């Protein structure tokens, strides 16, 4: 879990292999999460990691795409 939107609450990032996208579930703060927001990824995203790749102090999402045999980067614009 990583705080995607900067509200101090850990959010969830998932790789949706069969849908070819990455899902982000924002923490509402009462033990529940908002509905999944999805972002296009390559073919067969299998793994995700969150790290600040561009130095703006926001976690970006790195996606390992098994089907397309490549890596994708989703920059955080929150």
Of residues 67, 76, 75, 27, the one with CA closest to residue 47? 67
pLDDT > 70 in the chain, percent: 100
Of all helices (H) and strands (E), which one includes residue 14? strand 12-16
* Neighbour order of strands in the sheet with 12-16: 12-16, 21-25, 37-40
Reported as a single tens digit per residue, the pLDDT across 31-62 is 999 999 999 999 999 999 999 999 999 999 99
The pTM (predicted TM-score) of the whole model is 0.92
Q: Quick one: how far is CA 54 from the chain centroid?
A: 15
- The answer to whether residues 73 and 59 touch, using CB atoms and an 8 Å cutoff, is no
Mean pLDDT to the nearest integer, 67-72: 96
DSSP-derived 3-state class of residue 48: strand
């Amino acid at each position: 879990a990583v705080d995607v939107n900067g509200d101090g609450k850990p959010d969830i990032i998932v790789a949706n292999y069969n849908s070819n996208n990455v899902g982000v579930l924002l923490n509402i703060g009462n033990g529940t999460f908002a509905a999944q927001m999805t972002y296009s990824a390559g073919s067969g995203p299998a793994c995700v990691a969150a790290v600040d790749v561009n130095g703006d102090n926001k976690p970006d999402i790195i996606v390992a795409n098994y089907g397309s045999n490549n890596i994708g980067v989703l920059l955080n614009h929150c």
